[in-house]
Amino acid sequence: MNATDLAFSPALEQAQLIRRKEISPIELTQVYLDRIEQLNPQLGSYFTVTAELATADAIAKTEQLTTLDPGELPPFFGVPISIKDLNPVAGVPCSYGVAALRSQIAGHDDGIVQRLKQAGGIILGKTATSQLGSLPYTEPPGFAPARNPWNLNYTAGGSSGGAASSVAAGLCAIAQGSDGGGSIRGPAACCGVVGVKPSRGRISFAPIGDCLSGIATNGSLARTVTDAAAFLDAVSGYVTGDPYWLPDPHPSFLAAATDANPGGLRIAFASKIPPVGQASPELQQAVLTTAQILDALGHTLEPAGLDFSGLIEPFVTVWQTSVAFFGIPPEILQPMNQWLLDRANAVNSGQYLQAVAQMQIVARRLVAFFERYDALVLPVYLHPPIAIGQWADLSPEAILQNVINWVAPCPPFNATGQPAIALPMGFDAVNVQQGLPLGVQIIGRPGADSTLLALAAQIEAAKPWHQQRPAIANQ
């Protein structure tokens, strides 16, 4: 197997190669470090590359292979992974996408980082994020933009844009991301990878307890559904003091995805998001194609009308407080985040709690929809990726409205806390010259992550994607 094929092998296959001693953690890590050195200057996937730390960890793990029983190794032993630069890794810079903080060294590991280290992952570095994770495109001032590996003129999405582009371009095996309004699913759709936003309470936010009144969660970006399922097995579970949590699955998420047999389900689909509008024609077709695949698999498909009225205003009120959450001086923030911070500071505590209450009331109505359906197919965004810098000269007010009109299918399910997965569904047939992937998302019932992963694995088997590679990946 050549280095490029190895870099694009699923993470679980890489772990098996290491267990069988067909490749060492040192060799695999060096493959990715070489690719990052070559391609990251063009892609902007990583803010920080931890080559020395990764190499030292790979050497240690290679030595451990001589004494450890392969059957006792953790699931991602020796597999190179990446961490989004909103999540601290001890001894590594954590900038949150703020250029003035790019040399700020984290003093602790975030809870999910601890879990990934315990799972055996080797951390290659910190991936690019929009500043404070506030925008669905990754162009923070003072950093190179995260570019789409399929077409460098277009965004990789955001805020987990670097994570998505790193997986799509073969710069890591699997990536951690976070999603407070589509920040995993959007980049996954832009870059043609799998993106999982798990159910609320599935992954701990330790050492803090709650993030943005429950709308945000950590998750993964991967090349295959089974990789994403194994990632979820590795990082989920209660940590002492969590304000909410879910029981561990039986069997595992990986078993559910591997079996890929959720039974016959009743599934709704839609491509219109009231009160915002209709998805672009190519994304409407992606939803219809997915529905046709599911129908052929024996599920019952029904077109459905959804109404997200009453959610946008309270959601924005809660979401914009993420800028205030970081406690970063406004003078070092970009104008958009300064404006959001001013808006957040103008909301008093009573108004914030009223917004949370209204968001939760609407969320209950949305969850009630799933009393009739097991899953829902929607576009991830309402139109394909924007060009790099396309909104750079707009006013903050115009940017916010454009963001709402683009990402509208995602935030409702941050509000409800339901699991959702973004899946690649081919290329943009309307604008073929752009060569951009298309994605859909599937939303499951609350807590039904296993069913959702099994359903996604069925679709993946019917429409394989993970062997597709952007041209830049073969350089």
Residue 415 burial by Cβ neighbours in a 10 Å radius (0-12, 13-18, 19+):
buried
pLDDT 10s digits, 23-37:
999 999 999 999 999
Tell me the per-residue pLDDT of 411-457, one tens digit each, with 9 for 90 and over: 999 999 999 999 999 886 655 557 899 999 999 999 999 999 999 99
Helix, strand and coil content of the chain, in percent to the nearest 5, comes to 45, 15, 40
- Write the CB contacts of 318 (distance below 8 Å, at least 6 apart in sequence): 212, 213, 215, 352, 355, 356, 359
- Cα-trace Rg, the chain: 21
State the pTM of this model. Answer: 0.98
Residue 44 has pLDDT above 60, yes or no: yes
Backbone φ/ψ region at 438: left (φ over 0), alpha (ψ -120 to 50), beta: beta
**Average pLDDT value for residue range 398-408:** 98
DSSP symbol at 93: B
Q: Is the pLDDT of residue 21 over 80?
A: yes
How does 54-92 read in b/e, with b if 16+ C-beta sit within 10 Å?
bbebbeebbeebeeeeeeebebbbbbbbbbbbbbbbeeb
Instruction: Find the catalytic residue in 9, 82, 84, 322.
Output: 84
Q: What average pLDDT is seen over the chain?
A: 96
Helix (H) / strand (E) containing 195: strand 194-197
Q: Backbone phi, then psi, for 414, in 5-degree steps? A: -75, -40
What angle separates helix 349-369 from helix 312-319, to the nearest 10 degrees? Answer: 130
What's the CA gap between 215 and 206, in Å, rounded? 15
Query: pLDDT tens digit string along 256-292?
Result: 999 999 999 999 999 999 999 999 999 999 999 999 9
Percent of the chain with pLDDT over 70: 99
Q: Which of 130, 178, 183, 204 is catalytic?
A: 183
The yes-or-no answer on residue 213 being catalytic is no
Q: Among this protein's residues, is 159 annotated catalytic?
A: yes
pLDDT tens for residues 99-153? Answer: 999 999 999 999 999 999 999 999 999 999 999 999 999 999 999 999 999 999 9
pLDDT of residue 475: 76
CB 443 within 8 A of CB 376: yes
pLDDT computed for residue 267 by the predictor: 98
Q: Which of 159, 178, 252, 322 is catalytic?
A: 159
C-alpha–C-alpha distance, residues 146 and 130, integer Å: 9
Structure tokens at 427: 């290329």
The question of whether 84 is a catalytic residue gets the answer yes
Across the range 327-354, mean pLDDT stands at 97
Structure tokens at 224: 């295959």
- Tens-place pLDDT, residues 201-219: 999 999 999 889 999 999 9
Q: Is 398 exposed, middle or buried (0-12, 13-18, 19+ CB in 10 A)?
A: exposed
Cβ–Cβ under 8 Å, residues 425 and 438: yes
pLDDT digits (tens, 9 = 90+) for 330-340: 999 999 999 99
> What Å distances lie between residue 304 and 266, 271, 310, 376, 429, CA to CA?
12, 9, 19, 9, 25
